[in-house]
A and B are shown apart, each in its own frame.
Chain A
Amino acid sequence: MADKREITVTINGQAQTAEVETRTNLADFLRHELELTGTHVGCEHGVCGACTVLVDGAAVRSCLMLAVQADGHEVTSVEGLAAADGTLHPVQEAFWKNHGLQCGFCTPGMVISVAAFLKDNPNPTEADVRSAISGNICRCTGYQGIVAAALEAAETMRQEG
């Protein structure tokens, strides 16, 4: 008999209760139980970073966390990044302006990672940004647009305070 638990997770500000098999990871829970498919799965072994979400504000690999471990916690996925009125987060806006994405598959994890990084490092150098996103693989952009976007977003966020 499959081992199951009922869990309640606050996702993008909304409490969601569901029964999950305990072996289900957080990425699959978001994607397939809640149909929040913005979070992507690129490797399922913790290297590509496509599945990055915020748990209690900290960026983590959702393929390396069981959904049950998120019980009682707050999760922010890419769907929760823009403002309620649809205004893009400065990081999203900067990705758009700087061609920080092509296929968009790494993008949710990338955007979440950059947003989390900039929160703690408001004034990074290009080298800081490159090291910060080294846990997110992008096969399309060669990273340059992403780096430019992160630097621009940092500036915007500094100005906005």
Chain B
Amino acid sequence: MVRYTGAEVQRMEDPRLLTGHGRYVDDIHLPGMLHGAFLRSSHAHARIRSIDTSAALALPGVHAVFTQADLAVPDVAQSMNQLYPAPVIHQDITQHPMATDEVCYVGQTVALVAADSRAIAEDALVLIDVDYEPLPAVVDCRTALADDAPMAHIGSENNMAGQLKSAFGDIDGAFAKADHVFTGSFMQHRGGCHSMETRGVLARDEPYGEGLTIWSSTQCPYLVRRALATHLGEPEDRVRIIAPDVGGGFGPKAGFYPEEIVIPVAARQLGRPLKWIEDRREHFTATTGQRDQQWDLEVACDKDGKMLGLRGVVIHENGAYMPYGALLPFTSVTPLPGSYAIPALDVRLDIAFTNTTPTTPVRGAGRPYGIYAVERMVETIARELQIDPAEVRRRNFVRADQMPYETGAKLRDGMPVRYDSGDYHACQEKALELADYAGFKARQDAARTQGRYLGIGVSACIEDTGVGPYEGTTVKIEPSGKIMVRTGAASQGQGHHTMIAQIVSDQLGVQPEDIMFEAADTGKFPQGVGTIGSRVTANVGPSSFDAAGQVRETVLKLAAETLEAAEQDLELEDGEVRVAGAPDLKVTLGELALKLAPMSGGKIPAGFSPSLEATSYLGSSGSPVASGSNVAEVEVDIGTGEVRVLRYSVAHDCGNMINPMMVDGQIIGGVVHGIGNALFERMIYDEQGQPLTTNYGEYLLPLASEMPHIDIVHQETPSPLNPLGVKGAGEGGTIPAAPAIVAAIENALADFGVVIDYYPVDPQYLTELIDAAGAQAAE
């Protein structure tokens, strides 16, 4: 009797957020609280000769100025822990909480001022005198690994941070027997993620030795707890991390940042709560994001465009430090070869240090790069062999009858990449139909008679979601009859409360409104992982389903005893258990809860444990792989180079959907991120490593006025890996967007023979390509 799971339930979170009653880090005011501001490196690379904080300290309203040397952490010489150690890392360089004698990117933390107000703290920043000795900086990843490149770090012998490879099959054989070999060389740029809420940390050292409480706008409170406790040499239970309402995450809030150690330590030393809220200009350089990858690929195929092998080299711009291991590089190459059955692969990725803000995953992590690369090669085949791009895909897709399908690639942990379920052919047909792909030629021709250039582009993607190992849930029935649900999973807007309430209310026969929800507080739920990689529904979904299911069993067993009825005659509905056909024979959930929570002298019924609750850490047995096909239709103004997205169609398969409305929200939001990557967002550094785009006039985020209406159709191929049949949906919108847009632009400009080798495709670049093509034609 499923009532809520699968329904478009309006979100439980919304009334609060719509009326201004959310509680984000900066909304929290604690008595005696001071305000922090960071002095950040103004150099991309420099030696610090000295730091003089005396003038800043003398400013009225300033309570303290901290440099790394002033931080009383056990080992001040220590740089920050590697969150994800991996053997592929050659130079495991992480930064200190605040710089000691070298800064390696603009924005790196150098000193902290704590003052009565943020304004005063900023007044003091300009009074801190840092004597820098500027050093040469390396900025462009394409030249960073050359012998004559400047070193990103003093003392390094080269800028190779690490190297990894994804290879399987007989690659030489594939190329030897190919009818065609095509090459592709292109640069990909993804920007920061720019959640509308910046980062922020508020810390209080609790009196009476109760430990530290930290509110952080993080996606991963348990990771922050682990890292901070390790640095402090304290038990994890003495460090409580709370992620309150968080205004968007998308990846960059998933790490552990210098500010998350500096602010708590400074608060402890000051004996007062201390708050630091990142401002938007800081966010551009202090918050990690993604940046450049240079891809040089070769694809081998037969005369029909069937791919036989893919090989090549990638250079990954890492930024100055490796706070997040090699997750971004890994997720760039392990999804290869995407939706296609290609028997052989050999792709190497070199990780290059540069003197820029470190990179970590942004929505999709490396997957958008990897999928874009494969899709580019598919487009190349279609263009060269004059085959419809959708048809090339049909000829190469992994077939539904091959599921579960092992690509041959290996995951980070050495396990094989396995696609659990899906029907990529059917999914693409749905997208093509939604986009009226068949009718496009007529639209294009009609537009051309008016001098307008329309184009259509197709893309396909897979997305490994729901990485383990767990994300637990506790479901407890209160004596009031209300259900308390707790989980570690932090939400940055995804709607976890609603999703979990739907699952739990179906199990327990209550309304979603009866469910109270607490999440992302390490003081309230013992262990968790975090909200990354589209993993929550595929982990918390099963755990909440299972925990509620266990409670349901207990409820029925206890009710059967109480009502002296057989379990199979019981109905659980409207918060009570009834005996079928005997409406007066019933007991409420609250009454049952009370039976398991007696006070002094009471008795627990035999065979039951105290408290009507259960905790489950059930997740998915493997990574459910979602898939999708997108179709973009664009118009290019060949005068200005402007690209307008006229129509955008998505067919997506994330298995069973708990709340289709929220899935659509994830997809649409994700597509718009992808369009931002494809057309707008560009983080520009100059040759000295100075960031040039550090405000929202210069760094262009997608606005409503330029975004298309997005049509979505779902295919629901259940995942066999969890009892709900769900897969993650958080990134499947973003991953295929750039390749669809870029293909559509090329299609619009096919007469000019334009081939795009860089995104974001800005209009200036496009006019240069059009002009170059025109010049070539004239020759």
Which residues of A come within 8 Å of B, CB atoms?
21, 23-24, 31-32, 35-45, 47-48, 50, 77-79, 81-82, 88, 92, 95-97, 99, 101-108, 111, 126, 129-131, 133-134, 136-147
For B17, B662, B671, the residue with the greatest tally of chain A CB atoms inside 10 Å of its CB is B17
Interface assignment of B707: CB less than 8 Å from any CB of chain A: yes
28 contacts between A and B (CB under 8 A): A21-B117, A37-B23, A37-B24, A38-B19, A40-B247, A47-B697, A77-B20, A101-B17, A101-B18, A102-B248, A102-B669, A103-B196, A104-B17, A104-B493, A105-B24, A105-B197, A108-B20, A126-B709, A131-B704, A131-B705, A134-B703, A139-B193, A139-B194, A140-B665, A143-B672, A143-B703, A144-B707, A145-B668
Which residues on A sit within 8 Å (CB–CB) of B673?
139
Interface residue total, chain B, C-beta cutoff 8 A: 57
Interface assignment of B280: CB less than 8 Å from any CB of chain A: yes
Q: Are B701 and A96 in contact (CB under 8 A)?
A: no
Interface assignment of B710: CB less than 8 Å from any CB of chain A: yes
Q: Are B664 and A143 in contact (CB under 8 A)?
A: no
What does the 1/0 interface line of B349-383 toward A look like (CB < 8 Å)?
A: 00000000000000000000000000000000000
Q: Are A104 and B696 in contact (CB under 8 A)?
A: no
**Cα(A129)–Cα(B709), bound, Å:** 12
Q: Are A102 and B495 in contact (CB under 8 A)?
A: yes
Q: Are A88 and B18 in contact (CB under 8 A)?
A: yes
Which residues on A sit within 8 Å (CB–CB) of B709?
126, 144, 147
Q: Are A103 and B248 in contact (CB under 8 A)?
A: yes
A139 contacts which of B18, B19, B196 (Cβ < 8 Å)?
A: B196
Which residues on A sit within 8 Å (CB–CB) of B20?
36-39, 77-79, 81, 108
**Cα(A96)–Cα(B661), bound, Å:** 11
Which residues on B sit within 8 Å (CB–CB) of A108?
20
Nearest A residue (CB) for B194? A139
Which residues of B come within 8 Å of A, CB atoms?
10-11, 13-24, 26-27, 29, 117, 119, 193-198, 245-248, 250, 279-280, 492-495, 661-662, 664-665, 668-673, 695-697, 701, 703-705, 707, 709-710, 733
Which residues on A sit within 8 Å (CB–CB) of B10?
96-97
Nearest Cβ on chain A to B596's Cβ, whole angstroms: 36
B17 contacts which of A107, A131, A145 (Cβ < 8 Å)?
A: A107
A31 contacts which of B19, B27, B665 (Cβ < 8 Å)?
A: B27
Q: Do A130 and B705 form a contact, CB below 8 Å, given A23-B119, A47-B695, A96-B10?
A: yes
Q: Are B247 and A133 in contact (CB under 8 A)?
A: no
Q: Are B13 and A104 in contact (CB under 8 A)?
A: yes
Q: Are A139 and B250 in contact (CB under 8 A)?
A: yes
Q: Are B665 and A139 in contact (CB under 8 A)?
A: no
Nearest Cβ on chain A to B625's Cβ, whole angstroms: 23
A144 contacts which of B279, B668, B705 (Cβ < 8 Å)?
A: B668
Nearest B residue (CB) for A143? B704
Which residues on A sit within 8 Å (CB–CB) of B697?
45, 47
Q: Are B19 and A81 in contact (CB under 8 A)?
A: yes
